[in-house]
Amino acid sequence: MAVSRLTYVRRRLGRAVLVVVAVVVLGFFLIRIPPGDMVDVIVGEAGGADLEFVEMMRSHFGLDRSLWEQFLIYIRNVLVLDLGFSYQQQSPVLKIIIDRMPITALIAAIVMVFGVGLGMLFGAIAATYVNRWPDTLVSGFALLFYATPNFWLGLMLVLLFSIYVQWLPPFGIRTLGMQQTALSGAIDLARHLVLPVIALGTHYVAIFARITRGAMLEVASMDFVKTARAKGLSRLQVIRRHILRNALLPLTTYAGLQAGNLIGGTVLVETVFAIPGLGRLTYESIVTRDYLLLLGILIVTSVLVIIVNLITDIIYTFIEPRVELT
């Protein structure tokens, strides 16, 4: 039975809560499967300690309690948005995540916009000139960039643009020791983000170009395109109003699915370019066995992905009239 858009969103949110709960439960137990804990790391970094001290630390952090007990404590805290305290970073987990999130979100958003935008443009060109030289060119480059690992591309970009020609900074997000106004700060940030965005973005441009091309070719063979031509529309009108418009449907679905992937991609790029974002934080929390931090990141990113997917689905209901909201 079809329902109003509002009811639909409410129902979807209800289901999203279930997913988050599942993520918390699975995450909590999965993280504890590999042997070793935070105390091992601290002791290792300190060069060793006696057994009594180790036990004391474990009981201090609550690690000596049963897994169930730890789980119940954690759940109780999560319910009041307390994700715990990271001893490695000496700061509450939620605060660390909120500090690190904006730069990652910015990179992800730029990559998404450029990836979809340029990808659609190139894909449309390739589909329009299918099997002619523009298609060969676009498809060739799409395949090349699709297959190129983005951390390698990042290193090569640094080598070329920061070391040889020295146009752009090789790492970080701001020039140290520079007096910054709002404008010059923004420009400085933008200069720092060019290389990471390219390193991560080419992959998505390639993916979306390929998907756009494929979707457009599929739509082009459909009957209503013949109808559109029989109306006496120009080639460009047929492509824009009928072919591209319908090719948007699979593209939107795919873009939504890529949101989760994109966060994974930032881990590598932020590490290569030394950007203090969520991606690098993930990496740090893994090597230091900062369980609470890692779990916090896991929860926050899943919530983000769920929200992005929900937004995608809502957008979809606007561009695809055949979807029945249930």
Partner 1 sequence: MPASTRPDVPPSAAVSAAPVLSVRGLTVRLPGGGDREHAVEGIDFDLAAGEILCIVGESGSGKSITAQAIMGLLPKRLEPVAGKILFEGRDLLPLSDREMQAFRGARIGMIFQEPMTALNPVLTVGDQIAEMILAHRRLPAAEVRARVVAALAAVRLPEPETLRRAHPHRLSGGQRQRVMIAMAMVHDPAILIADEPTTALDVTTQAEVLRLIRQLRDDRKTSVILVTHDFGVVAEMADRVVVMRHGKVVETGPTAEVLGRPRHPYTRALIDAVPRFTTGAAAPSDTAEKLFDMRSITRRFVRDAGLFRKGTAVVAVNDVSLSLRRGETLGIVGESGSGKSTLARCAVRISDVDEGSILLEGQDVTRLRGRRLMPFRRKVQMVFQDPYASLNPRQKIGRILTDPLRVQGHARGPARERAIELLRLVGLEPQAMQRYPHEFSGGQRQRIGIARALVVDPEILIADEPVSSLDVSVQRQVLDLLADVRRRMQLSMIFITHDLRVAAQVCDRIAVMQMGAVVEQGPTGEVFGNPAHPYTRDLIAAIPGVAFFSETVD
User: CA triplet 206, 207, 211: central angle to 5 degrees?
Assistant: 115
Cβ–Cβ under 8 Å, residues 175 and 214 = no
Q: Give the count of residues interacting with partner 1 (CB under 8 A).
A: 27
| Selected range binding partner 1 among 26-34, 85-93, 184-192, 244-252, rule: CB under 8 A | 244-252
5 versus 15: smaller Cβ distance to partner 1: 15
Strand partners, 140: none
User: Which of 88, 246, 266, 301 lies at the binding interface for partner 1 (CB under 8 A)?
Assistant: 246
Smallest gap from Cβ 84 to partner 1, in A, equals 32
Contact set for partner 1, span 109-128 (CB under 8 A): none
Q: Which residue has the tokens 């300190």?
A: 46
Nearest CA to 295 among 28, 25, 17, 26?
28
| Selected range binding partner 1 among 75-83, 200-208, 282-290, 316-324, rule: CB under 8 A | 316-324
Nearest CA to 111 among 4, 10, 194, 182?
194
- 231 part of the interface to partner 1, by CB under 8 A: yes
- 237 part of the interface to partner 1, by CB under 8 A: yes
What is the C-alpha end-to-end distance of the chain, expressed in Å?
6
Structure tokens at 283: 């990496």
- Residue 323 to residue 146: CA distance in whole angstroms: 31
Please, what is the angle between helix 51-61 and helix 38-46, to 10°?
A: 140
User: Which of 25, 72, 73, 222 lies at the binding interface for partner 1 (CB under 8 A)?
Assistant: 222
Strand partners, 86: 91
- Residue 121 to residue 114: CA distance in whole angstroms: 10
Rg (CA), the chain: 24
Distance of CA 217 to the CA centre of its chain: 28
34 versus 321: smaller Cβ distance to partner 1: 321
Structure tokens at 265: 């991609």
125 versus 249: smaller Cβ distance to partner 1: 249
Structure tokens at 119: 């990808």
Smallest gap from Cβ 133 to partner 1, in A, equals 17
- 132 part of the interface to partner 1, by CB under 8 A: no
User: Which of 224, 240, 264, 274 lies at the binding interface for partner 1 (CB under 8 A)?
Assistant: 224
- 322 part of the interface to partner 1, by CB under 8 A: yes
57 versus 238: smaller Cβ distance to partner 1: 238
228 versus 286: smaller Cβ distance to partner 1: 228
175 versus 312: smaller Cβ distance to partner 1: 312
Smallest gap from Cβ 143 to partner 1, in A, equals 25
Binding residues for partner 1, rule: CB under 8 A, are: 1, 15, 222-224, 226-235, 237, 241-242, 245-246, 249, 319-322, 324, 326
